[in-house]
Amino acid sequence: MELGFSVNHTEGVDASAAIASPYPNLAGATMGDSVGPTVRVASVTSTVAEGEPVYVAVRAYSQGQTLATSLGTRLTATAYEPIEVPDPGDPGDPPDDPDTPPPMPFNPPTLQSVNQVGPQNITVGWFWVGPAGFHRFVVQHKDMAGDWTNLATSFDLTPQEWTGPALSMDAGQTVRVVVYNIEEASQASNELSSTLEGSVPGTLLALVVQHAEIHESGGNLYIVWSWLDNLPEPPFDHFSVQQLDGMSTWQTLVMISTSTIANWTGAPLLVPPPRQFRVVAVDAMGGEAASEAVVVT
Looking up residue 24, the CATH number of its domain turns out to be 2.60.40
For residue 190, being part of any structural domain is answered with yes
Domain end: 162, 196, 230, which one? 196
Domain end: 26, 57, 76, which one? 76
pLDDT at 22 over 90: no
For residue 38, being part of any structural domain is answered with yes
For residue 128, being part of any structural domain is answered with yes
Q: Same domain for 216 and 165?
A: no
Residue type, 66: T
Q: Same domain for 215 and 272?
A: yes
Residue 25 near residue 53 (C-beta atoms within 8 A): no
For residue 97, being part of any structural domain is answered with no
Residues with Cβ within 8 Å of 84's Cβ and at least 6 positions away in sequence, in order, are: none
Closest CA to 118 of 166, 172, 151: 166
Residue 183: CATH number of its domain: 2.60.40.10
Domain end: 52, 76, 100, which one? 76
pLDDT at 118: 67
Q: Same domain for 186 and 160?
A: yes
For residue 256, being part of any structural domain is answered with yes
- Please give the share of the chain, as a percent, with pLDDT higher than 70: 86
For residue 86, being part of any structural domain is answered with no
Q: Same domain for 243 and 268?
A: yes
Q: Same domain for 185 and 216?
A: no
Q: Same domain for 50 and 7?
A: yes
pLDDT at 85 over 60: yes
Q: Same domain for 184 and 115?
A: yes
Q: What is the mean pLDDT of the chain?
A: 84
Give kind and range of the element (H or E) at residue 266: strand 263-266
CA distance linking residue 107 with residue 130, whole number of Å:
7
pLDDT at 115: 86
- Please give the share of the chain, as a percent, with pLDDT higher than 90: 32
pLDDT at 75 over 90: no
CA distance linking residue 245 with residue 286, whole number of Å:
22
Starting at the earlier edge strand, list the strands of the sheet with 186-188. 148-154, 134-142, 175-181, 186-188
Residue 32 near residue 47 (C-beta atoms within 8 A): no
pLDDT at 183 over 60: yes
Average pLDDT over residues 145-164: 92
- Boundaries of domain holding 118: 110-196
For residue 82, being part of any structural domain is answered with no
Q: Same domain for 187 and 216?
A: no
Helical H runs in 182-276? none
pLDDT at 199: 43
pLDDT at 98: 67
pLDDT at 229: 67
DSSP 171-210: TTS-EEEEEEETT--EEE---B--EE-SSPTT-SPPPEEE
* Lowest-confidence segment of 22-26, 156-160, 232-236 by average pLDDT: 232-236
pLDDT at 188: 96
For residue 96, being part of any structural domain is answered with no
pLDDT at 252 over 90: yes
pTM (2 d.p.):
0.39
Q: Same domain for 189 and 212?
A: no
pLDDT at 200 over 50: no
Residues forming a β-bridge with 58: 18
Q: Same domain for 157 and 116?
A: yes
Closest CA to 6 of 106, 108, 136: 136
Number of domains in the chain: 3
pLDDT at 171 over 80: no
Average pLDDT over residues 93-117: 79
pLDDT at 168 over 80: yes
Q: Same domain for 217 and 281?
A: yes
pLDDT at 89: 59
Q: Same domain for 164 and 225?
A: no
Average pLDDT over residues 171-188: 93
